[in-house]
Amino acid sequence: MPRVIAITSGKGGVGKSNFTLNVGICLAMMEHRVQILDADLGLANIDVLLGVRPRKTLEDVVFNGVDPREIVMKTDYRLELIPGPSGTQDMADLPGEKIEELVRSVMTISKDAEFLLVDTASGISSGVISFLLAAPEVIVGVSPEPTSLTDAYALIKVLVKNGYRGRVSMFSSMVKSSAAGHTLYKKISSASQRFLDAHVDYLGSVYLDEKLKKAVADQVPAVVRYPTSDISRSYRVIALTLLGQEVPAADEEKLWSKLIAMLAKAQRPKAPKEAALTGGDRNGSLESTLHDILSEQRKTRMLLERLVEKVGRDILTPR
Ligand SMILES: Nc1ncnc2c1ncn2[C@@H]1O[C@H](COP(=O)(O)OP(=O)(O)OP(=O)(O)O)[C@@H](O)[C@H]1O
Ligand SMILES: [Mg+2]
Separation of 194 CA from ligand 2 center, angstroms?
A: 30
Q: Output the tens digit of pLDDT for each of the chain's 319 residues.
A: 999 999 999 999 999 999 999 999 999 999 999 999 998 876 658 999 999 988 888 888 888 889 999 999 999 998 999 998 877 777 777 888 888 888 888 889 999 999 999 999 887 788 899 999 999 999 999 999 999 999 999 999 999 999 999 999 999 999 999 999 999 999 999 999 999 999 999 999 999 999 999 999 999 999 999 999 999 999 999 999 999 999 999 998 899 999 998 888 776 555 444 333 333 344 456 555 555 555 555 555 555 555 655 565 565 555 4
Cβ-contact 159, 18 below 8 angstroms: no
What type of residue sits at position 304?
A: L
Pocket of ligand 1 contains residue 15 by CB under 6 Å? yes
- For ligand 1, atom 30, the nearest C-alpha belongs to 213
| pTM of structure | 0.85
Cβ-contact 270, 54 below 8 angstroms: no
> What's the pLDDT score for residue 278?
37
Give the C-alpha separation, 257 to 99, whole Å: 8
Number of the ligand 1 atom closest to the C-alpha atom of 21: 18
Sheet bearing 200-207, strands edge to edge: 73-74, 79-82, 34-38, 115-119, 3-9, 137-142, 167-175, 200-207
At 251, give phi and psi (nearest 5°).
-85, 95
Question: Residue 112 CB: number of other CB atoms within 10 A?
Answer: 11
> What's the pLDDT score for residue 95?
83
Separation of 13 CA from ligand 1 center, angstroms?
A: 5
Pocket of ligand 1 contains residue 18 by CB under 6 Å? yes
Pocket of ligand 1 contains residue 16 by CB under 6 Å? yes
Give the C-alpha separation, 96 to 150, whole Å: 37
Exposed / middle / buried, residue 315 (Cβ in 10 Å: 0-12, 13-18, 19+) = exposed
